[in-house]
Amino acid sequence: ISCVLQDGEVFEKAGVNVSVVFGLLSEEAARQMRSRGKSLKAKDGKLPFCAMGVSSVIHPKNPHVPTMHFNYRYFEIEEADGTKQWWFGGGTDLTPTYLNEEDAVHFHKTLKEACDKHDLKLYPKYKKWCDDYFYIKHRGERRGIGGIFFDDVDSPSKEEVFQFVKSCAKAVVPCYVPIVKRHCQDSFTPEEKLWQQLRRGRYVEFNLVYDRGTKFGLLTPGSRIESILMSLPLTARWEYMHTPPESSKEAEILEVLRNPKDWVH
C-alpha cells in the first residue's frame, strides 16, 4: 500500500509504503542473502519467504529542509527441513543539502535516546553501520549525515528485537518534524535550489546502484515498480564536473559527507 504526495507546499515528493510480500525467493535475491553470510537450504531450489515493512522517503521543496528516509522491516524464510529463519532490519537517516549542526545533533540525539532504552552499545554500532552502508563508492562520499542502520538482527529474542524496532520507529517523528518546522519557511536563492538538485542526483545514484532494498524489490517477481522507486526525488540534476568553491557552504557539507562526524559527544 503506497501513499505519495507530490508538489505539496512543503514537500516536493513524500511517500510511505507499507508492504507485506510473500512467495518464493528469486535465485538472485537468495544469492544476495548468501553473500551476507546467510545459510539458506532450499527445497527443490525453492525458498518460501515472507517480508513486511514500512518505509518512507521525504524530499522537501526548501533546500534548507533535509531529505529524510526511514525503513523498518521483518523477514522470514522457511528452509527445506521446515525450520524458519527470521530477522529484523531498518534504520533512519538524514540527507541535508546544507549543514546545520543544531539539526544534526537533534536528529542523532533523538535516535540515540531510542537505542539507549534497550542497550547503550546499539547507537554507536548502528551509527557506524549507517555511515558505512550509505556510502557512494564511486563518489567517495556518504549519501547524507547518517543516523542508524542495521540488518539481520535475530537476537536476543524476536520480542526484544521487535520492541527495539518499535522504539526506533517511534523516534522518526520527533527526530525529523521539528527540523521541518524550523526551516520550511526559510528563504532560499536559485543557487541554493540548484545545489539541492545536484545533491538529489547523488541520492538517485545511491538508490539505483547500491541500495539493497531497491535491488531486492526490482528482483522480486510481480513487485510494483512504482512503489519501489517511490524513494526517488521528483527532480534532480547532473552537471558535468561541478565543484563548489572552497570554504563555501556547499563545500562544508561535502567535507562531512567525506568524513563522518560524531554528533552526540
Q: What confidence tens digit (pLDDT) does each residue in 86-135 have?
A: 999 999 999 999 999 999 999 999 999 999 999 999 999 999 999 999 99
- In 92-157, which residue ranges form alpha helices assigned H by DSSP? 101-116, 122-133
The answer to whether the beta carbons of residues 58 and 172 sit under 8 Å apart is no
Residue 265 within any structural domain of the chain: no
The answer to whether the beta carbons of residues 183 and 111 sit under 8 Å apart is no
How much is the pLDDT for 41? 74
Asked whether the predicted pLDDT for residue 218 surpasses 90, the reply is no
User: What's 139's domain CATH number?
Assistant: 3.40.1500.10
How much is the pLDDT for 64? 98
Asked whether the predicted pLDDT for residue 202 surpasses 80, the reply is yes
Q: How big, in percent rounded to 5, are the helix, strand and coil portions of the chain?
A: 40, 25, 35
Confidence band for 35, pLDDT divided at 50, 70 and 90: low
Asked whether the predicted pLDDT for residue 29 surpasses 90, the reply is no
- Range from 23-27, 148-152, 208-212 carrying the lowest mean pLDDT: 23-27
Q: What are phi and psi of 253, to 5 degrees?
A: -70, -35
Q: What is the per-residue pLDDT across 131-147, written as a single tens digit (0 to 9) for each?
A: 999 999 999 999 999 99
Q: Which domain holds residue 27?
A: 2-258
Point out the residues that are catalytic: 69
Residue 264 within any structural domain of the chain: no
Residue 117 within any structural domain of the chain: yes
Asked whether the predicted pLDDT for residue 42 surpasses 80, the reply is no
Confidence band for 28, pLDDT divided at 50, 70 and 90: confident
Asked whether the predicted pLDDT for residue 172 surpasses 90, the reply is yes
Residue 178, preceding bond cis, omega within 30 degrees?
A: no
Asked whether the predicted pLDDT for residue 240 surpasses 90, the reply is yes
State the total domains in the chain.
1
How much is the pLDDT for 212? 87
**For residue 154, how many other CB atoms are within 10 A of its CB?**
12
Mean pLDDT, residues 140-161: 96
Residue 29 within any structural domain of the chain: yes
Residue 263 within any structural domain of the chain: no
